[in-house]
Copies of this chain bind each other. A is one copy, B any other.
Amino acid sequence: MKIITSPKEVQEFLKYKKNIGFVPTMGALHEGHLSLIKKAREENEIVVVSIFVNPTQFLPGEDLDKYPRRLQADFEICKRAGVDLVFTPNSENMYSEDEILIKAPKIKGYILEGFFRPGHFDGVLQVVNKLFNIVRPNRAYFGKKDAQQLYLIKQMVKNFFFDIEIVECKTVREKDGLALSSRNIYLSEEERKRALTISKALKRAAKLSTNIKDIETIKKEMENILNVDELQYIAFVDRDFNYINEIIPNNTIILIAAKVGETRLIDNIWL
């Protein structure tokens, strides 16, 4: 397994390679990432994983400094999963002064996650655009857990005419339902228990939606289940992130963002 820090070296290494699968990550790899890597391994000749805690997608006051970093363990996980190349750039070789910037779309980049983290998606799209040009993959793997990010990356692929297939991968959960996240390690035992009410509320909503189409009724039921410290949103959107008033079968995503203690968690379910 190759480990490369320099973007130019990655471009040289991959220059004549075909059939490249790419999994961009911020490291602290868990079973969720591993499921993306495994899928990429099945579907491509070359598998590239990037590990980069991208500073431009963190807002001032967010957890950039304490975000978990464990590069050696990540390398081990990648090696065992049959990754061909791990790309570990640093801020110095990814960014320069007075950069050309990318702005997330005015509407869908600034609702929900974009409303609570304004500018977050600008940074996400900025780094993913760079990574796509460096790696030039045939397929790139993203989790459905970051549903709005996934939607915006698909829009970037369309708007920027990237010849890349975006593979949507299902959220991996603990046995009790908690969606895997590198941020789960921030939770105390008590907080972790209450965090479980997020996935429970989503599961309950999915069940209700087979009979009830009215969103307000479902939302109330969800609020009864939730035991969080700050509920930021419960939202119902279609696959293109348009708000909807009624459940549309096969075209609804229900999303929750909430703080449990100091930890901000997001989760969703696709109907």
Interfacial residues, chain A to chain B (CB-CB below 8 A): 7, 11, 96, 98-109, 125, 129-130, 133-134, 136, 152, 155-156, 158-163
Contacts and interface: CB of A to CB of B under 8 A. Distances in A.
Given A130-B161, A160-B133, A103 B100 contact: yes
Contacts of A136: 163
Number of copies: 2
A100 B105 contact: yes
Contacts of A7: 161
A162 B104 CA distance: 20
A14 to B, nearest CB: 10
Contact of A159 (B96, B105, B106, B160): B96
A155 B101 CA distance: 11
A95 to B, nearest CB: 8
B101 A102 contact: yes
A107 B98 CA distance: 7
Contacts of A109: 100
A120 B35 CA distance: 44
A102 B100 contact: yes
B160 A129 contact: yes
A99 B106 CA distance: 8
